[in-house]
Structure 1
């Protein structure tokens, strides 16, 4: 694995257009996975992450970890968040029916919206709970078709922090569902730490709560990119 981190003083980090390692290894292995670990920096981490104009970015983590909050605050460009879809359907049916009844409709509407977003060529940020690996496979194929790269942003928070987040928003999942999410998230984080990214994923960024809190921009570059030497 080529494990690289950004300077703590860097205000914006540009992710590589094609998966690449540091300059000394890029020519030898341009497809080596890139992992940026921004955890344990006490908030002294980049305020922005920049991706290519045709890239796809998946934000994943435990329920209650702050994925939707981060996307609403930081994404500069198209985003597809299943929580937005649920909020819309809750407004229509929540006062008459329990969520479990219309949950399949919410999922169908979310994936239909995602399909519409993927038909364009612009970069998109997508919310992902992390338990549906077929979704990442779909996104990886879509990224390749559009000439971009699929990236992961992983929110690494403790289960207690995630449970507190669900209580704060007044929503939660069953104990069984949370344990399933917890297992999937832990396996994904361990794999990324080893440099073993899911198929089709070009890079991953690990964020703890402090790093997520200082992140103010997740966006997409134009035709030209900031130089790769901005990474160390």
Structure 2
């Protein structure tokens, strides 16, 4: 099957739109944030892309910290330190050369502003791919990977993501500060996102 190159601009809504596979194309120093509910398919998508870009994933930081901690120490005891370390790693990655992929839920307003600030200061373009799947589909994804979010945490993600989606539907990419483009995909269309390349002209 032929793969079509696609340069996202402004707001691109692929929800409910079946079709052939697409390769997303961005500039050589782009930052692409892949967001969505826990279980929406962010990790699966990033593995499928296997892109020549630096990947910032909070789970990588968490596992690295867990490996250094005593087995008897519960994760909540050092979770704030893990989150701080992840933020520092993310900020530092913006200063490195080459494209950047950021695995983030996208639902926290303060993180959206931080990403926009770091992109602006480093002279990068910020782009967003938001997997806007239904909560039931995200829960099924969590069960399939055998990693489930706490019910209260998941409900908070659902509310925040719903507000973000409503903002995008009203105001377009302006709902995600600093974003050059926002691409929305759901369970129907996320399988079309076959790959990513960082070769689009500015």
TM-score tier after normalising by the smaller chain length: 0.7 to 0.9
Number of the residue aligned with 2:139: 163
Secondary structure of 1:157's match? coil
Shift of 1:154: 0.6
Alignment partner for residue 208 of structure 1, among 176, 186, 201?
A: 186
Alignment partner for residue 81 of structure 1, among 36, 39, 57?
A: 57
Q: 1:58-207 maps to which residues of 2 (within 5 A)?
A: 58-76=33-51, 77-93=53-69, 95-194=71-170, 195=172, 196-207=174-185
The alignment status of 1:11 with 2:11, answered yes or no, reads no
Q: Distance in 1 between matches of 2:91 and 2:106?
A: 18
Q: Distance in 1 between matches of 2:61 and 2:197?
A: 22
Closer, same or farther: CA 144–75 of 1 in aligned 2, 3 Å? farther
Verify the 8 A CA contact 1:157 1:208 in the aligned structure 2.
yes
Count matched residues.
198
Q: Distance in 2 between matches of 1:90 and 1:72?
A: 22
Closer, same or farther: CA 49–168 of 1 in aligned 2, 3 Å? same
Q: 1:20-39 maps to which residues of 2 (within 5 A)?
A: 34-39=10-15
Larger Rg: 1
Shift of 1:117: 0.8
**Structure 2, unaligned runs of 5 or more:** none
Cα deviation per residue 1:83-102 (whole Å; 9 max; x = unaligned)?
22223334444843332223
Relative to the length of structure 2, the TM-score reads 0.86
**Structure 1, unaligned runs of 5 or more:** 1-8, 17-33, 227-232
Closer, same or farther: CA 95–167 of 1 in aligned 2, 3 Å? farther
Cα deviation per residue 1:96-132 (whole Å; 9 max; x = unaligned)?
3332223223212222221221112422111112232
Q: Distance in 1 between matches of 2:81 and 2:115?
A: 21
Structure with larger RCO (C-alpha < 8 A, sep 6+): 2
Relative to the length of structure 1, the TM-score reads 0.76
Measured on the aligned residues, the alpha-carbon RMSD in Å equals 2.3
